[in-house]
Chains A and B, each alone.
Chain A
Amino acid sequence: MSVVADQDMKEFKVIGSRPIRHDGIDKVTGRALYGADIRLPGLLYGKVLRSPHAHARIRRIDASKALALPGVKAVATGADLPSLSDTVKALGEGSVNLKYQSTGLLADDKVLFHGHPVAAVAATSIHIAEEALALIEVDYELLPPVLDVRTAMQEGAPILLDDLRTRELGDQIGTQRTNVAEHIRHQRGDLARGFAEADMIVEREFTTSTVHQGYIEPQNATALWNGDGLITVWTSTQGAHSVRSQLAELLLLPETRIKVIPMEIGGGFGGKINVYLEPLAAILSLKAGHKPVKLVMNRAEVLMATGPTSGSVIRVKMGVTRDGRITAAEVWMAYEAGAYPGSPVGSGMNVVLSPYRIENLQIDGYDVVVNKPRAAAYRAPGGTNAAYAAEAVIDELAEKVGLDPLAFRLLNGAQEGDRRGDGPAFRRIGYLETVRAIQESDHYRTPLTGPHRGRGVASGYWGNWGGKSSVSASVNADGQVNLVEGSTDIGGSRTSIAMQLAETLGISEQDVKPYVVDTDSVGYNDVTGGSRTTFGTGWAVYELGLKLKEEMLARVHTPMAYSQPMAYSQPKTSASPSKKLRLSSTTTARSWRAPRPTPRNTAPVSPRTSWTSKWIPRRRAIWSTPACWTTACRSRPICR
């Protein structure tokens, strides 16, 4: 990747500005529609019955009394979902075993966490649905729960999943029943020699708790399984296409039959990638005679049955020479996966010591099931626990050898060609340059005065996931652009993407109207997550802008048969109007007032566009057909 120099930055007109976001007015007036705001004709309201036990076998479920309650239209249990094989699929920011994902949605023969869905009801009102839940009889055989990773790994610990065997160092599969789903190891150099060379060794153990993502908007889903077999789902999600893929896999349907309409999303932080309610709403809609069904969690359900990030136990042992060089490091990390395998321990292993150049290194990671909800992505999944443990030990080592924390990092920091903890070599990362810049900064050098002042240093590694994005755009006769994208906008990406298209086209971002659309209306998009959207979807929109420009110039050339090539300019900078084209430009009003149509019998407002410039008289005719191009890009991850 090329590095953007300061000089290039100065040429940007739109990037770097602070426009008012396109969806802003809807969001400050309450008009924006989030998933829970949707209403449909004939809508039924759903509610989920959840296990009050963290670990139990289900002997029997009897829903007959609930079904007999007037107003109840359908009851669904695990038996209503297709039974899926043990296949692992990449979904969202991680991968998932479909059988486990399905039994996590609606329990099969066992419940594995407090809040595990056991049945779901659809009724004509939410109150009736709640009453119906109380009428469903479930006979549980209680089993001892395992609530932390240390206990779960002990011999003789209660076993959650009878069929689980440890995947050990790649392909070897254990033979014993276990709660340890996987053991991964990264290793290089000679650990014993490295520690022998050390003048000082520090070893510490860290425990981190289960933490929930804590978005303000609870999960929601509304589904209509239509009589023609087509399914429409309205939901607040980080990725509409990912919801579509998950539904297709879980319901054994072709993706094409499912349309997911992303509503506004009230925060996700990784927690709104996995589906929880969408398949239940779809099944209830089918069973209730093709009526739309809406499910919204309450806060208690969100906290007990969605997310969280893994709790973990991490041991870090490091050796240094007297002058501060790291000679060896050994890390042992065990992450709670929740009820089903799939904790982000692998990502934690990538993160844990990657900022440092360490010749003799061993990292062991364990993915362990416990009786809690299945862990979900959460802001650099698995990385924060790992960095916390490693950095605490690094701090202590620096202090013990009497080095300033930055000097310690300059001595041991990774640079181009050094290998990350998990193996791949860094390209140019600018880490040491950053450390030097901090050394020279006033923020680091100013003396600390007054009470409660301190200064801390920590380093971390994280990658940009890249991923796949599709966008399309239409240029309208007024010179403005409709931009269609599929990356759900969780905090302003409509605008950051529109700005990149505007910059490429040389128009104002207010002349780009961005829309986040349903899965039928745009090509495939990966989730909004993994720090990828502004970069990945931005890359797609940049390529789209280049194509648009090329095509527009070609179209203008052809009928006019100009002999000299034409250039394309930024608005208001056109030096020589005889050779330059421009799209219209508008400015944002400081104070918003809804625009009104001009009343009859008054002079027309002068057009905002500059398309009527005199030198290509028939240009309007050429442009009256909207032009539309689509581009998709698989962006490259920054680090390999």
Chain B
Amino acid sequence: MSTRKNETMVRARINGEEVAFLCEPRETLLDVLRNDLELTGVKEGCGNGNCGACNVIMDGVLVNSCLVLAVEAEGRSITTVEGLAAPDRLHPLQQSFLEHAALQCGVCTPGFLVAAKSLLDHNPHPTEHEVRYWLAGNLCRCTGYDKIVRAVLDAADKMDGN
């Protein structure tokens, strides 16, 4: 049952697939990803740009999807945590997060992974300082960050070796 007003059709490329969806102008990209496209790996922690749990990569740029309107996705290419690796594999970052126990409750993890992926896309050999600086937009209440930083550095090393 549709109860939407002023619906707009939006076409975008999401995790490599062409997708079309209807949305209201007031809906955020996060709303649409979670509620309409069932990409619930994208999390909402704050809805106001503070926590980074909703991070996605849009045309190569790391964004908080809670601060992007769904209509702004028109013609864009978007990567969420679900699109980091082929379904039967893990991205080296995902593997590294597991090995370094870089998650406890795990609700911040999709955002950290997407943010870290974006970092390594821009800078494949980051220093610890650069990792910490880049991930400053992501909040984790459980881990204390250290294991996350180590997991990212280790993944960068391993990806370098491949």
Q: Is there an interface contact between B103 and A128, defined as CB atoms closer than 8 Å?
A: no
Chain A residue nearest to B158 in the complex (CB):
A591
Q: Contact between B81 and A29 (Cβ–Cβ < 8 Å)? A: yes
Q: Among residues 53 to 102 in chain B, which have CB atoms less than 8 Å away from a CB atom of chain A?
A: 53, 80-82, 84-85, 87-90, 94-95, 97-99, 101
Contact A33 B107 (CB under 8 A): no
CB of B42 within 8 A of CB of A30, answer: yes
Contact B45 A33 (CB under 8 A): no
- Residues in A neighbouring B24, C-beta threshold 8 A: 127
B87: chain A residues at CB < 8 Å are: 594
**A498–B77 Cα gap in the complex (Å)?**
41
- The B-contacting residues of A in range 96-127, CB under 8 angstroms, are 124-125, 127
Q: How far is the CB of A543 from chain B (nearest CB, A)?
A: 27
Q: Is the CB of A36 within 8 A of B44?
A: yes
Min CB–CB distance A22 → chain B (angstroms): 11
**Chain B binding surface, main DSSP class:** loop
A347 to chain B, nearest CB (A): 22
Bound complex: CA of A20 vs CA of B102, how far in Å? 11
Partner of B141, one of A30, A39, A215, A591: A215
Cβ of B129 < 8 Å from any Cβ of A?
no
**Are the CB atoms of B44 and A125 closer together than 8 Å?**
no
Residue B8 lies at the interface, judged by CB distance under 8 Å to chain A: no
Could you tell me if A265 and B105 are in contact, using CB atoms closer than 8 angstroms?
Answer: yes
Given contacts A29-B81, A215-B141, contact A491 B98 (CB under 8 A): no
Shortest distance from the beta carbon of B73 to any chain A beta carbon, whole Å: 18
Closest Cβ of chain A: how far from B45's Cβ, in Å? 4
Minimal Cβ-Cβ distance residue in B for A303: B46
Return the contact of B80 from the options A20, A30, A490, A593 (Cβ within 8 A): A30
A213, closest chain B residue (CB)? B141
Q: Is B39 an interface residue (CB 8 A)?
A: yes
Contact (Cβ within 8 A) B104 A492: yes
- Residues of B in contact (CB 8 Å), total 48
Residue ID in chain B nearest A591 by CB atoms:
B95
Asked if B120 lies at the interface with its beta carbon under 8 angstroms from chain A, I say: no
Chain B residues 93 to 123 lying within 8 A of chain A, measured CB to CB, are 94-95, 97-99, 101, 103-110, 113
A88 close to chain B: CB less than 8 A: no
**Chain A nearest Cβ from B57, distance in angstroms:** 14
Check B142 against A267 for contact (C-beta < 8 Å): yes
Set B81, B106, B110: member contacting A264, Cβ < 8 A: B106
Nearest-CB distance from B84 to chain A (Å)?
8
Contacting pair A32 B106 (CB below 8 A): yes
A29 contacts B90, CB within 8 Å?
Answer: yes
B39 touches A30 (CB 8 A): yes
Chain A residues with CB under 8 A of B89: 592-594
A579 contacts B by Cβ under 8 Å:
no
* B-facing residues in A113-157 (Cβ within 8 Å): 124-125, 127-128
Asked if B29 is at the interface (CB within 8 A of a chain A CB), the reply is no
Q: Which residue of A lies closest to B52 (CB)?
A: A216
What residues on B are CB-neighbors of A36 within 8 Å?
A: 34, 40, 43-44
The interface residues of chain B lying within 8 Å CB-to-CB of A266 are 43, 45, 105-108
Docked CA distance A23–B113 (Å): 16
Asked whether, in the complex, the Cβ of A490 is within 8 Å of the Cβ of B105, the reply is yes
| CB atoms of A28 and B90 under 8 A apart | yes
- Scan residues 554-610 of chain A and give those whose CB is less than 8 A from a CB of chain B: 591-594, 596
Selected from B3, B43, B47, B103, the residue in CB contact (under 8 A) with A34 is: B43
Question: Contact residues of A with B, CB < 8 Å?
Answer: 18, 20-21, 23-25, 27-34, 36-37, 39, 71, 124-125, 127-128, 214-218, 264-267, 269, 298-299, 490-492, 591-594, 596
Nearest 9 pairs of A and B residues by beta carbon: A30-B41, A266-B107, A491-B104, A27-B106, A594-B88, A37-B40, A30-B81, A28-B94, A299-B46
